Structure 1
C-alpha cells in the first residue's frame, strides 16, 4: 500500500490527518497534489500506518435521548434504521453501536428463544413442499459415485486400497492380500514390498518383517528394488538385532 504514495504525500497525510474525515483528507490530498486517490486508498494507507484522525462521532442530545428510549428490544441494525428514518440522518450501524457502547446501553436481546417459545415449524415434521420429493433418493438408489466391492484406489502416498465391504470399507491391498494367503499379521509385524513397488501387491512380492527389522534396514540402507537383495537385507537386519541383543545381555551381567 505504501508504494503507491510518494514520500511527500505520505508526509502530508501524516501531518494533516488529525481532525479530518477520510473524505475531507482525500479531497485535500487530490486538490493539492493533483492526484485522484480514492477514499478507500487513503483509508487503507491510514490503517496500514496506524494513523488516527482523532475524530469522535458526536450525537445531538435529542438523538441520544431517542436512542435511550428506543434501544430496548431492538437490534443495532433495527435501531440504526429507526434513527435515520426519524431524523433523516445517515448513521452507520458501527456509529450507533459505538454510541450504545459508550453509554452502556443494551437492547436486552440475548439471541436465545424465551422460555415457552413455540417454534414456527412445530408439528410440521415430515411435511415437505410439493415437488421436493423429486430430489429424494429412492429406496435402493445407487449414487453415481458408488464404487462396487473389489474396486481399487491409490492414496497420496502411492499405496493401493481395495474395497472389501459395503458401504465404505476400504483396506490396504497388500495387507489384505498377505492375510488372504498367509493368515493374520502378528502384532509388531509389517508387510513390505520386495521390489519397492507399493502397487505390486502380488503375494510373491510381499515380505513380512518386524518393525525393528524395518528400522534396521532403513538405517543401514539395506533396502533394495531387487527382491533377492531385499531378502538378504532382511537376514542381515536379523543378525544385527541379534548381535545388539547379545551385547545388552552381556552388559547386564557386568
Structure 2
C-alpha cells in the first residue's frame, strides 16, 4: 500500500486551495515522480482533512428557497457559490433542489402546482386516442398556453383512466399495462398495482412513501417482493446503486440507507448543538 510522506502531504496542503485537482495532480506527480490519478489525490486530500467538507445546512437550504423563484439553476448556483464560498456545479445544485422538493417555477411545473380544468380534461379525453403522449403534450400546451411536462400530463391521464388504445369506461379492478408497469382501477381511480396489493395487506400507504419491487421486476407481485420506502430512501437506493436483482440484497441495501440517513440526522443534531455550547458562558 502506497504511503504518502509528510513532505507530500505538506505539498498538497500548500497548493490545494490554489489549484484545481487536475492541476494539483499533475504538479504532484511531476514533483514526486508518481503517476497518481485525480481520484487518488482527492482521496488523500479528504483523508487528511486538506479540503473543507461542505454540506448543505438549513441556512443554505432556506437561502435557496428564498432566491429560487424565477431564477435558472445556473444563476442559483452562481449566487450560492458566491455567498457561501462553495464550488458546486449546476448539476449538484439542481439535484439538491429536487431532492428537497425546491422548485424554481421556470418551465415545467410540478403536479401539485398545476390544476386541470374541466375544459382541459375534455380536451385530453377527446384527443388521447389519436395522439401519443409527446404529441398530446405539445398540442395541450399550445391550445391552453401552458408549459407542463409530458410526465405531468401522463400522470393525469393515468389517474383519470385515459390510456392510448383503451376505452374509458372500464369496470373496477381492471388492469392496464403501461410503460411504467401495471395500473389497476379502484374506487379512488387508477393506481399502481403494487400499491393496491400492498394496501390490501398493510393498509394505506403513508404520504411521501411508495412501493417498489425488491428484485426490480415490475411483474413480480409476490408479497415479499414489495417494499415500502420514503422519498429519501428511494433516492439514496438509486444514487448509491443499492438495488439488485436479488431481493435480499436490495433489502440489505435499504437497511444500509436507513443507517446512513439516521447517522446523517444525528450529525446534524450534533452540529446544531455545538454553536449553542460555544455561546454558553463558562462557569466560574
Instruction: Please indicate the TM-score interval, normalised by the length of the shorter structure.
Output: 0.3 to 0.5
Q: What TM-score do the two structures reach when normalised by structure 1?
A: 0.40
Q: Relative to total residues, which structure has the larger helix share, 1 or 2? A: 2
